[in-house]
């Protein structure tokens, strides 16, 4: 049957591109109130497509933009798969940097170009299009629930409550998210690990007001000096994080992982060149891929203090603050790490200043065993879709919905994404390769067949 579905997909290529263009032409920018009607219109468009695939569809209210929830007829004895995606997009600004307008999708040089092309409309479309093809052959042999939300780009503020409220309706054996990348063009990947995150704010204060640096300099602590001195202690010369106990629970890379990653097509020099950096950097003893995928970090994301305009102002600032976040790896406990940073900084802080630290958010790392049944079936599906065996890779970022599904629904997530590093996600001239679109659609079609065997 899968062969028939794939054949149907071949015949629908032009129709598929045309439909995706329709989807991409709706400016569903979730962060902008003036686009609220576009967001609604986009939800309705997605719902209509899923109805056409014979799904039972609801456009459901949340505290914010609506979520589209769609189910095929669930049959007892079949495994159930929850497919998550989002139909909202980032703002397109700065508009003058776009070669063609962000909401007038254009095919150029083998890619469809528009805001949301890769993140995440193009990838959501792969799933819907595969279901439309399956419908021509009686529907997929698996119970499916699709949850396509409209608030991912604003941090999914209502998704947690929504999933908790509809826990029963969303119950599944495994989740699928297509919002990640191939390892490289034509080398598909399944992402089996994500780093976690602990995001902190660190503030140092001394005097109760800004002072003149001439009249007072040298007689009272300068919070900017002290903040730099404190944060400057957070790494040693080998690039290791010096927060007490930071590495205690870190799971070491296995020799097998290191061997496999070393085989991936990757060039450190090209990597530095591509970033425009003088050279690569990071923790001694690890390759860039190892650093990115499997080693924890501590990065200052923002610094602010005193005078920041052009020229000079002789102010001794009364406060200095930093955003400091740590990427976490498997078995690091976010709460323990948060407390370790707090304890370390307080222990190192002189009594001449006040130190305040608070945590914006924290989420643990994710690691899905690559020898599980679902991930092996997914790998078969990707191989059918791309005509190439996928690599198993990790990603350095965090995808909060993966932790949420684990926490609220108790299920793992398969991260099967079709994007590429050069897709300009969140930037001008976002695009999605037509090859990725079609291979991705084939992969989804195969995935629904394979996961039926779960």
Q: Residue 161 or residue 273: which is nearer to a second copy going by CB?
A: 273
Q: Which H/E stretch holds residue 174? A: strand 174-177
Minimal distance, residue 413 CB to a second copy, in Å: 16
Residue placing its CB nearer to a second copy in the complex, 81 or 231: 231
Residue 43's alpha-carbon distances to 61, 87, 148, 179, in angstroms, are 11, 7, 8, 18
Q: Is 283 in the site for a second copy (CB under 8 A)?
A: yes
The smaller minimum CB distance to a second copy, of residues 101 and 396, is found at: 396
Distance CA 41, CA 161 (A): 23
Angle at which helices 434-451 and 122-135 pack, to 10 degrees? 50
Helices 36-52, 13-24: inter-axial angle, 10-degree rounding: 160
User: What minimum distance in Å lies between the beta carbon of 207 and a second copy?
Assistant: 4
Q: Among residue numbers 376 through 415, which ones bind a second copy (CB under 8 A)?
A: 395-398
* Buried-exposed string 146-157: b where 16+ CB fall within 10 A, e elsewhere: bbbbbbbbbebe
Reported as half-sphere exposure (CB side, CA atoms, 13 A), residue 294 has a value of 17
Q: Stretches 118-126, 255-263, 277-285, 377-385: which one binds a second copy (CB under 8 A)?
A: 277-285
Site for a second copy in 215-234 (CB under 8 A): 215-222, 224-225, 227-234
Write the binding mask 191 to 220 for a second copy: x where contact by CB under 8 A, - elsewhere: ----x-x-x------xxxx-xxxxxxxxxx
Nearer to a second copy, 90 or 143 (CB): 90
Measured at the CA of 245, the angle between CA 241 and CA 247, to 5 degrees, comes to 60
Kind of pairing, strands 143-149 and 80-86?
Answer: parallel
**Direct distance between the N- and C-terminal alpha carbons of the chain, in angstroms, rounded to an integer:** 17
Between 119 and 129, whose beta carbon lies closer to a second copy? 119
Task: Pick between residue 16 and residue 123 the one whose CB is nearest to a second copy.
Answer: 123
- Count the residues of the shown chain that bind a second copy, applying the rule CB under 8 A: 81
We find the least distance from the C-beta atom of residue 246 to a second copy, in angstroms, to be 13
> How many whole angstroms from its chain centre is CA 317?
37
Closer CB to a second copy, residue 105 or residue 223? 223
Rule CB under 8 A: say whether 250 interacts with a second copy. Answer: no
Minimum distance between the CB of residue 223 and a second copy, rounded to whole angstroms?
9
Among 72, 90, 178, 297, binds a second copy (CB under 8 A): 297
Binding to a second copy by CB under 8 A, coded x per residue (else -) over 97-116, reads --------------------
In the complex, least distance from residue 45 CB atom to a second copy, rounded to whole angstroms? 29
Tell me whether residue 266 or residue 392 sits nearer to a second copy (CB atom). Answer: 266
How far apart CA 181 and CA 421 sit, in angstroms, is 7
Question: At its nearest, how many Å lie between a second copy and the CB of residue 251?
Answer: 16
CA neighbor of 207 nearest in space, from 309, 315, 302: 315
Give 54 or 272: the residue with its C-beta nearer to a second copy: 272
Residue 169 burial by Cβ neighbours in a 10 Å radius (0-12, 13-18, 19+): middle
We find the least distance from the C-beta atom of residue 361 to a second copy, in angstroms, to be 6
Beta bridge partners of 56: 71
What is the distance between the alpha carbons of residues 163 and 180, in angstroms, rounded to a whole number? 22
Residue 17 or 325 having the CB closest to a second copy: 325
Among 36, 272, 367, 454, binds a second copy (CB under 8 A): 272
Distance CA 117, CA 13 (A): 16
Number of neighbouring beta carbons within 10 Å of residue 408: 18
Shortest approach of a second copy to residue 135 CB, angstroms? 36
- Name which of residues 302 to 361 contact a second copy (CB under 8 A): 302-308, 311-317, 320, 322-323, 325, 327, 350-354, 360-361
* Nearby residues of 353 by Cβ (< 8 Å), 6 or more positions away: 204, 205, 206, 221, 223, 226
Question: Does residue 277 interact with a second copy by CB under 8 A?
Answer: yes
CB atoms within 10 A of CB 164: 13
């Amino acid at each position: 049957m899968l062969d028939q579905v794939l054949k149907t997909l071949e015949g629908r290529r032009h129709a598929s591109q045309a439909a995706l263009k329709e989807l991409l032409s709706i400016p569903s920018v979730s962060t902008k109130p003036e686009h609220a009607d576009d967001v609604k219109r986009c939800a309705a468009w997605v719902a209509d497509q899923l109805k056409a695939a014979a799904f039972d569809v609801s456009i459901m209210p949340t505290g914010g933009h609506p979520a589209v929830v769609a189910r095929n007829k669930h049959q007892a004895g079949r495994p159930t798969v929850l497919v998550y995606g989002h139909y909202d997009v980032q703002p397109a600004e700065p508009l003058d940097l776009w070669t063609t307008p962000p909401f007038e999708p254009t095919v150029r040089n083998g890619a469809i170009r528009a805001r949301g092309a890769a993140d995440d409309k193009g990838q959501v479309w792969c799933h819907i299009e595969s279901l439309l093809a399956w419908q021509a052959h009686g529907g997929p042999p698996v119970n499916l629930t699709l949850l396509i939300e409209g608030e991912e780009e604003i941090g999914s503020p209502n998704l947690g409550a929504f999933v908790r409220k509809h826990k029963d309706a969303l119950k599944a054996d495994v989740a699928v998210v297509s919002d990640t990348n191939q390892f490289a063009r034509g080398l598909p990947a399944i992402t089996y690990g994500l780093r976690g995150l602990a995001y902190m704010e660190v503030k140092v204060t001394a005097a109760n007001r800004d002072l003149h640096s001439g009249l007072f300099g040298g007689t009272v602590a300068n919070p900017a000096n002290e903040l730099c001195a404190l944060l400057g202690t957070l790494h040693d010369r080998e690039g290791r994080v010096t927060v007490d106990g930071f590495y205690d629970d870190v799971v070491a890379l296995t020799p097998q992982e290191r061997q496999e990653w070393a085989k991936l097509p990757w060039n450190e020099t090209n990597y530095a060149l591509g970033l425009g950096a003088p050279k690569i950097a990071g923790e001694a003893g690890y390759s860039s891929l190892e650093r990115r995928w499997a080693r924890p970090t501590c990065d200052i994301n923002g610094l602010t203090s005193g005078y920041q305009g052009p020229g000079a102002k002789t102010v001794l600032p009364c406060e200095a603050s930093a955003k400091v976040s740590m990427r976490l790896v498997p078995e690091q406990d976010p709460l323990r790490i948060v407390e370790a940073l707090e304890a370390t900084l307080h222990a190192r802080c002189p009594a001449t200043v006040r130190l305040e630290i608070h945590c914006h958010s924290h989420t643990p790392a994710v690691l899905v065993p690559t020898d599980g049944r679902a991930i092996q079936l997914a790998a078969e599906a990707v191989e059918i879709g791309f005509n190439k065996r996928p690599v198993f890779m990790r990603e350095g970022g965090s995808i909060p919905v993966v932790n949420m599904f684990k926490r609220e629904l108790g299920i793992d997530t398969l991260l099967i994404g079709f994007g590429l590093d050069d897709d300009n996600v969140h930037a001008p001239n976002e695009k999605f390769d037509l090859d990725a679109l079609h291979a991705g659609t084939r992969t989804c079609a195969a995935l629904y067949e394979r996961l039926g065997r779960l």
